[in-house]
Structure 1
Amino acid sequence: MNLDYIIHDEWSIIEEGFNPDTVKASESLFSIGNGAMGQRANFEESYSGPTFQGSYIAGVYYPDKTRVGWWKNGYPEYFAKVLNAPNWIGINVLVNNEKLDLYTCKEVANFRRELNMKEGWLSRSFEATLQNDVKVKVESTRFLSLSHDELGAINYSVTPVNSDAEIVFTPYIDGGITNEDTNWDDQFWDILSVDQKSHQSFLQAKTMKTNFHTCTFMESKIFVDGKQTDLSYESEKSSTYASCSYAHQTLKGQTYTIQKFGGYVVDRNHDESELVAAAKKVLKEANDLGFDQLLERQKQSWKQIWDMADITISGDVKAQQGIRFNIFHLNQTYLGTDARLNIGPKGFTGEKYGGSTYWDTEAYCIPFYMATKDQKVARKLLEYRYNHLDRAIENAEKLGFKNGAALYPMVTMNGEECHNEWEITFEEIHRNGAIAFAIYNYHRYTNDYSYIPEKGLEVLIGIARFWHQRASYSTYKNKYVILGVTGPNEYENNVNNNWYTNYIAKWCIDYAIENINKIKSEYNEDYTRIMSKVELLDSEIEKWKEVADNMYFPFSEEHKVYLQQDGFLDKDLVTVADLDIAQRPINQHWSWDRILRSPYIKQADVLQGFYFFEDHFPDEELERHFDFYEPFTVHESSLSPCVHSVQAAKLGRMDQAYTFYLRTSRLDLDDYNHEVHEGLHITSMAGTWMSIVEGFGGMRVKEGKLSFTPRIPKQWEAYSFKINFRNQILKVNVCQNETTFELDNGDELAILVNGELVVVTPNNLVTV
């Protein structure tokens, strides 16, 4: 596949020329969403070539029974599947009784597809010569409304080019869909009813096992040369399908258009008995406004998002397109309007990784949402985990832990672990640390402490109890050790004393104790309530402290670095530079056995700890560890390049930081890991934002103040971003020779720039 067929453009993703080999990749790259639902960029008309059909509803899933050759105690019973939902976008097109299908056409010319990120719409145009030699010009535009998040809209036009032709549009909704990703080929949907009246159709369905009730709906209007026309239609209905067919004898050069409204209403927002009524209400609002006005509202909604979230880059279109692509998809996936939802690693672009929540949310996404939206959005993400605390305790109990110890799941939809690879499920326990770190990070950034006495402390106590019980005392080392784990680097399984895991375990216990003491002295009522609920005694806290104070950290005196795990130096330490490029990515060329014995690192591991706890280590230690570990890192996790970009920038290695930035920002656009056809890497896109704001901008929070150490790649003329810090909007603009700061409103803001105090007042430009 051509990895660089996307045209470089500051505000749009553009593909020119039809290539069946890139259809699946484009279906991922051009995906659209609005936080409540989303869809891959499948064609509206029929397509018989290789395609990955996907429409998804936020929070709707199926517990697909785990498929393994043997069963272990504590094993998750199911792997939660993001479900391909009934299809509402379909419009079959007949031209003189022949189906329009780009895969079978004699010729496809002037094919162009554009995802306009500035305004939030997807368009496609082409000229096709069918097997019957009729040539037609087709133009379509569609979007998923941000202002009406249960609604999508399509405007689809066909113009005969070389002769008159009878054109038949057959818009449909179809519940006879399957998942690309399924363990047992189960039927996921139970279609309850299909109703049709006038130009409207409604398909009610519920998911098997989980019983999510949904209604998929559609309504169509017909236009000839822009003028709405009432045409007679023929309807068809089955137990899983409904359609209406509109035929028109279309003159050469005449434009025949269908406008189709559709979408989903779900019982998360409506009573299950009122879903059709709710769908009719959505359609009435859509009809009252019309396609053009809905599109105008879409543009305004995206303008509001970009006003706060945009990062501008001057002098490097490729880099500019990359960061906007990432910011766009993050906002398509999650807008913070519903605390019951979270940020799936594939968003609405594919089915791989099942589940909606990984530790990615806490480690990578919360900083983005804190800085580009109201802090309430980040707080909702924290509350999501608090609401799942009982399930985290259940997850730990299944593995033999007790007394309220909490192990948050690696992958979840409802708080219950649903990841079905033992080396991840049982061993990648460092995820617990990210949950606690997010609470600390939220307080550090927002200065809102109220979450911790209200909810967060209970989470911290459950996590501390887990770490206390998970550590074991080694008489040989006279230290506490943590055995049989997988760290962030998933290319090492079942290792002992992963440094990152041990370090964050110690930190979690210390942080929990610090907050228990603070709440005891300052929030007496909350303290009494919480201690009564969790039954925590001073004697238990003393045992925690014993573990934290005596945690073992593997260290090499020879290299003066913390070891990724006890056995790292036993490996054949051949660097990535000496690895045959034909063997990359190794996860697609090597056996798992060979990978596990190699020194190669999938993603930042020790360096992930240095990223979280930067203030705990002097810069020379970061430099020493970066120089030791980066040469062994293959960056085959989407979460890896961003951390390395931030740290390379901190070390002043701007060429390296820039290279890592391009890799994280264009991971999917340039398909670095040869897997974009499966969907996009949504959560790592927040890491791309970090690589500019925290990497090049050097943004940190120090002693309650925003701090910046601005740097700029030589490839850029300037870059700018906005930060919402404690409800004050600060704009930062970095050029090659100066940085300016501007405050939108509110009180003056004292910040640190290169370690010096700078005071910014509203509407006054400060230049450093």
Structure 2
Amino acid sequence: MDHRETAQVLSPSGRACRDPWVVASHHADPACFAQDESLFALSNGALGVRGGLEEDNSPSQGCFLAGAWERTPIEYHERFPGFAAHTDTRIPVADGTRIHLRLGDTPVRLGEGEWLQFERALDLRSGCYRRQLRWRSPEGPTLLIDAERIVSLDRPALLAIRYRVQSVDYTGPVTLESSISTARNATEQGDDPRIGTRVDGGLATIDAAADETFAHVLQRTAHSDIRVACMQQHAIIDDSLRFRLANLAPHGVMQVFEGELSPGQSVTLEKYVAYTWTPPGGSDTDAELLSAATGELAGAHALGHGELLARQSSMLAQLWHNADLAIDGDDATEQALRFNLFHVFQSSSRDGLGSTAAKGLTGEGYEGHYFWDAEVFMLPAMVAVAPHVARSMLMYRHGTLERARAHARELNHARGALYAWRTISGDECSAYFPSGSAQYHINAAVAWAIRHYVDGTGDEAFLRDAGAEMLFETARVWLDIGHFNPRRGGAFCIHDVTGPDEYTALVDNNHYTNRMAQRHLRDAATVAQWLQATAPEAYAELARRIGLESFEIMQWQRAAELMYLAEDERLGVFPQDDTFLDKPRMPARNGGEGKRPLLLELHPLTIYRHQVCKQADTLLSLMLAGDDVSLAAKRRNFDYYEGVTVHDSTLSASTFGVLAAEVGAHDKAWAYFQDTLRVDLDDLHGNAAHGLHMAAMAGSWLSLAWGYGGMRVIDGELHLRPQLPHAWRSYRFGISWRGAHLRVDVDAHNVRYTLTRGDDIAFHHAGKLTHLRGGEPVSMPQRQLAPTLPLQAVIFDLDGVIADTAVVHRAAWEQLAAEIDAPFDEGIAARMKGVDRRGSLEILLERAPRSFLEHEKRALEERKNAYYVERIGQFGPEQLLPGAREAVEAVRRAGLRVGLASASRNAPLLLERMGIAPLFDVIVDAARIARSKPDPEIFLAAAAALGVPPEACLGVEDAAAGISSIHAAGMVAIGIGQREDLGEADIVLPGLIAFRMADYVDNKNGATATIAEATNINA
């Protein structure tokens, strides 16, 4: 098989793509087919069809129905009360895409010929998948095969294909065998539990028939008692074909058409496939299922392929109007954002009977289950661009509320409801409860989504008729799993739960769970009061039906007010749980090919004993419910948890990206944005072949709108604080908000807001309330990236900033290295930069010829220090770096406090030798701290000793570790050196000789600038 492969048009971000509205691939290598089948899958929320080739028998091609799943018992060697009893698995249904070819009597087998030209393309404007193959047979004749396919967004479950075969140089008969295939079974589970399953039962064919007009198969599941009908009908274009026969096939049914080809001539067949199905145990007869399918096909046949395609484009036009995406200077990112949003939109249910599965309807990954990421990641994107889809997702949760009540009883809760961690029917499908059922935060995710949807749409009818009941029933469970703890001053503590980080299970006071529960309880109490005031009869009826008492509402309020949300005084971060910070960090993994998560390498207990996060946990709570947390605290938490998170989940990157943009870590924000943007396009986790990652795809929109756009909903009001990534000249996105539509245009200087639908809208720009009316666009300055506290102090590093002691340190370490026969080179010297004495010694000893005991290490430290002290004994004012004295004196003249934060224990001696010790109010060296840079402790200690909030300080450093330390402390960082070495610094200067206090002080009256203003100097 000769595959002449050209490069994909799926360009890495920053490179031009052919058309930002069309995603295309030229991969002709069968090894890439499974991923491309996922990428080019089509869906309408009910039916999903992978993007395979009609005439190919790919083992990974498949069709799925949101309503077709099998129930399989879960077998335990040791079963205890409340364990999940069965799992639901979405399984492939009959495949209606197949059209096999014959030239004369010879079957066309694509793998045996030569692929001269090949392209798959997905047109995002029309939702149409097109592909073209120029193929030369082993016998010599060449064909051009064109096909286009849509899964109708306008009809319940309709697949339409237009299939054309053109002769380049072939003369003779051609046969098209159009079939419905039942050969595909569910993928069996291997070593990776995320892929495949062990299905007991599955779909069995109970009826099949074919004639000149229709062909159908009827299937039934063994245990869930779901019946599925698949029926096909055709239209022949320009009389190019004639019907030959209909027949039963070994796995399905077949209708055969034949024609004649000569060079330049073509034959065209339009194929329509309709699916109908029953709910589990549904009462519809087989005849009724087939009649409904016949009616669908009659309507499709009457409209024709062209009209169906036109209607598809019309329905998508509203999505693209609401999304309103454009990026000047980065077509590939614009394309990827549209591609991701398209897949989330088309994979989400519209009938209230389903939600959005982790892999949508693009593959079998995760058994087709719905998780909490549907509410936290997919739903907020849909609220902004397709609110009716978001409502449908919540109606699914309301429809499964009775199953959530049953699940709560399984876990011994006498009242209330607990939504399942992974499910289709509403029942819990996870056999491993520590990382499954223990994730009580799912209730909070559903509650958060209800509030977000109602805030964004104003749909109070939904809140009254469905949302309030869900909020009340799920809120009840928090009082069962938590209590007012007298050992913590009466704070409300929540016990033995698992947060989003599944690498830390069954803990007390998971910060994400507590913070989200607090939001949930407050919302439940507020909605109860609102419902009593606005619809007292509806409230009374609901309270009677679920037995709700006013005392419960008071308990919700009290629990929310007293929720335990700890903050570690030493680190200035929120502990992920009560014991997380006490554990050792997970040792670094050895490098290897591909990305294989820890859960596939280590026993869960090994993971649980370490300080390691699978994905964003505490940070996710700050993104969703961190309105009352300062920017400096968010920065400290971002820096800390970035160091312990392995991002084994594709959910993680978008959260880190949003927070990075918010706290001003611009390079990291861009890197995380690219990770979530291209997780499937570039197959970053190596499993896109099994379906696309819907939460990551939705996360790319969140990274744009919430990250760079600064979008939040606070107290029911829309807030925006846009900024421009360095890679773009400008960008635009849209937000659907309470029936109106707001366009947000961002360039290097301004943000332009335009109301494109509706009469008026109110929102906050950078904290300022703004009212906008149709036809009256308004421009605002772009966001400032730092807090607006007045500047009160400057904290300097010593080595490389005030004095050039690096050469002295290096000489002392080199002398010690020579004495113990340890190698010393430029790489070792660079790693020691900014690191304290013990840390530097450990670096030196990594390649020493023998190991050293603790008392020997202390002796080596003292020996090196003696060499260093001997050398600095000769220091004087002449060793000050240019501009150092002048910079420190300028800070003092401005009335600011001055601190020194140095890893050197000899800092006081050095300052004395150089004659500038009196200029410093506080000196903090390694002797006063437990952890070295990049830990923030030394800068936090300096700020505390100065009596100044960290947010009101500038830190000055010459090392990347020091810059990270300053940022982790919540301060603005001035880097001394080169931008390429200090990319995360807010301001970079070549040396203190370039430091001008006038940049940070109002020249007219001597007032200090705000930190925000300081950040924009020379940024």
Pair member with larger Rg: 2
Q: Is the 8 A contact 1:500 1:564 kept in 2?
A: yes
Shifted more, 34-43 versus 196-205: the winner is: 196-205
Alpha-carbon deviations, 1:646-690, whole Å to 9, x = none?
A: 111111233222221111111110111111111001133222211
Q: Is the 8 A contact 2:349 2:356 kept in 1?
A: no
The 3 A distance-change label for structure 1 pair 389 and 586 is closer
Q: Distance in 1 between matches of 2:105 and 2:385?
A: 51
Match of 1:364 among 374, 377, 388: 377
Match of 1:30 among 37, 40, 48: 40
Q: How many residues align?
A: 757
The amino acid of 2:200's aligned partner reads D
**1:459-608 aligned within 5 A:** 459-471=470-482, 477=488, 480-541=492-553, 547-573=559-585, 580=591, 584-587=595-598, 590-593=601-604, 594-608=606-620
What does residue 84 of structure 1 align with? 92
Determine if the alignment matches structure 1 residue 354 to structure 2 residue 367. yes
Shift of 1:91: 0.9
Q: Is the 8 A contact 2:201 2:223 kept in 1?
A: no
Q: Distance in 1 between matches of 2:747 and 2:548?
A: 54
What does residue 858 of structure 2 align with? none
Q: Is the 8 A contact 2:406 2:417 kept in 1?
A: yes
What does residue 221 of structure 2 align with? 207
Shift of 1:67: 4.4
Shift of 1:292: 2.5
The 3 A distance-change label for structure 1 pair 20 and 529 is same
Match of 1:128 among 129, 135, 154: 135
Shift of 1:747: 2.5
Q: Is the 8 A contact 1:745 1:763 kept in 2?
A: no
Determine if the alignment matches structure 1 residue 627 to structure 2 residue 635. no
What does residue 121 of structure 2 align with? 114
The 3 A distance-change label for structure 1 pair 150 and 463 is closer
Shift of 1:216: 0.6
Q: Distance in 2 between matches of 1:139 and 1:514?
A: 58
Instruction: Classify the secondary structure of the residue corresponding to 2:232.
Output: strand
Q: Distance in 2 between matches of 1:506 and 1:638?
A: 26
Q: Which runs of 5+ in 1 are unaligned?
A: none
Shifted more, 700-709 versus 72-81: the winner is: 700-709
- The normalised TM-score by structure 2 is 0.70
What does residue 10 of structure 2 align with? 7
Q: Distance in 2 between matches of 1:689 and 1:291?
A: 32
Q: Distance in 1 between matches of 2:594 and 2:342?
A: 33
Q: Distance in 1 between matches of 2:756 and 2:767?
A: 23
Q: Distance in 1 between matches of 2:338 and 2:555?
A: 49
Alpha-carbon deviations, 1:30-80, whole Å to 9, x = none?
A: 1111222111112111336xx312101122211122244442321222211
**1:344-743 aligned within 5 A:** 344-374=357-387, 376-402=388-414, 404-471=415-482, 477=488, 480-541=492-553, 547-573=559-585, 580=591, 584-587=595-598, 590-593=601-604, 594-702=606-714, 704-743=716-755
The amino acid of 1:312's aligned partner reads A
Q: Distance in 2 between matches of 1:703 and 1:280?
A: 50
Match of 1:292 among 300, 306, 315: 306
**1:60-75 aligned within 5 A:** 60-75=68-83
- Choose between structure 1 and 2 for higher RCO, CA contacts under 8 A separated by at least 6 residues: 1
Determine if the alignment matches structure 1 residue 763 to structure 2 residue 766. no
Q: Is the 8 A contact 1:750 1:757 kept in 2?
A: yes
The 3 A distance-change label for structure 1 pair 757 and 565 is closer
The amino acid of 1:674's aligned partner reads G
What does residue 200 of structure 2 align with? 186
Instruction: Classify the secondary structure of the residue corresponding to 1:638.
Output: coil
Q: Is the 8 A contact 2:359 2:368 kept in 1?
A: no
The 3 A distance-change label for structure 1 pair 737 and 456 is same
Q: Is the 8 A contact 1:724 1:730 kept in 2?
A: yes
Q: Distance in 1 between matches of 2:512 and 2:403?
A: 25
Q: Distance in 1 between matches of 2:520 and 2:243?
A: 68
Q: Distance in 2 between matches of 1:6 and 1:505?
A: 45
The amino acid of 2:700's aligned partner reads T
Q: Distance in 2 between matches of 1:313 and 1:84?
A: 38
Alpha-carbon deviations, 1:568-603, whole Å to 9, x = none?
A: 223333687x97465844337632344334433221
The 3 A distance-change label for structure 1 pair 641 and 358 is same
Determine if the alignment matches structure 1 residue 235 to structure 2 residue 243. no
Instruction: Classify the secondary structure of the residue corresponding to 2:164.
Output: strand
Q: Distance in 2 between matches of 1:221 and 1:457?
A: 50
What does residue 312 of structure 1 align with? 326
Q: Distance in 2 between matches of 1:689 and 1:445?
A: 16
What does residue 766 of structure 2 align with? 754
Alpha-carbon deviations, 1:86-106, whole Å to 9, x = none?
A: 01111111224333233x324
Determine if the alignment matches structure 1 residue 42 to structure 2 residue 52. yes
What does residue 812 of structure 2 align with? none
The 3 A distance-change label for structure 1 pair 715 and 290 is same
Alpha-carbon deviations, 1:257-301, whole Å to 9, x = none?
A: 322111312346995432222222222222222222322332233
Percent of counterpart pairs with the same letter?
28
Q: Distance in 1 between matches of 2:463 and 2:153?
A: 32
What does residue 164 of structure 1 align with? 171
Q: Distance in 1 between matches of 2:584 and 2:197?
A: 37
Q: Distance in 2 between matches of 1:392 and 1:144?
A: 32
Q: Distance in 2 between matches of 1:326 and 1:62?
A: 29
Instruction: Classify the secondary structure of the residue corresponding to 2:728.
Output: coil
Q: Distance in 2 between matches of 1:662 and 1:621?
A: 25
What does residue 990 of structure 2 align with? none
Instruction: Classify the secondary structure of the residue corresponding to 1:108.
Output: strand
Shift of 1:521: 4.4
The 3 A distance-change label for structure 1 pair 109 and 561 is same
The 3 A distance-change label for structure 1 pair 299 and 441 is closer
The amino acid of 2:422's aligned partner reads V
Alpha-carbon deviations, 1:114-158, whole Å to 9, x = none?
A: 111122111111222333343322221111122334322212222
Instruction: Classify the secondary structure of the residue corresponding to 2:412.
Output: coil
Q: Is the 8 A contact 1:519 1:527 kept in 2?
A: yes
Shift of 1:243: 0.7
Shift of 1:529: 1.9
Q: Distance in 2 between matches of 1:121 and 1:572?
A: 52
Shift of 1:607: 0.6
Q: Distance in 1 between matches of 2:531 and 2:400?
A: 22
Alpha-carbon deviations, 1:522-554, whole Å to 9, x = none?
A: 543233223322223345555556655554445
Q: Is the 8 A contact 2:197 2:367 kept in 1?
A: no
Instruction: Classify the secondary structure of the residue corresponding to 1:233.
Output: strand
Q: Distance in 2 between matches of 1:152 and 1:426?
A: 37
Instruction: Classify the secondary structure of the residue corresponding to 1:59.
Output: coil
The 3 A distance-change label for structure 1 pair 292 and 643 is same
Q: Distance in 1 between matches of 2:706 and 2:416?
A: 34
What does residue 793 of structure 2 align with? none
The 3 A distance-change label for structure 1 pair 711 and 544 is closer
Q: Distance in 2 between matches of 1:700 and 1:363?
A: 13
Determine if the alignment matches structure 1 residue 275 to structure 2 residue 289. yes
Q: Distance in 2 between matches of 1:293 and 1:737?
A: 45
Q: Distance in 1 between matches of 2:603 and 2:233?
A: 51
The 3 A distance-change label for structure 1 pair 736 and 515 is same
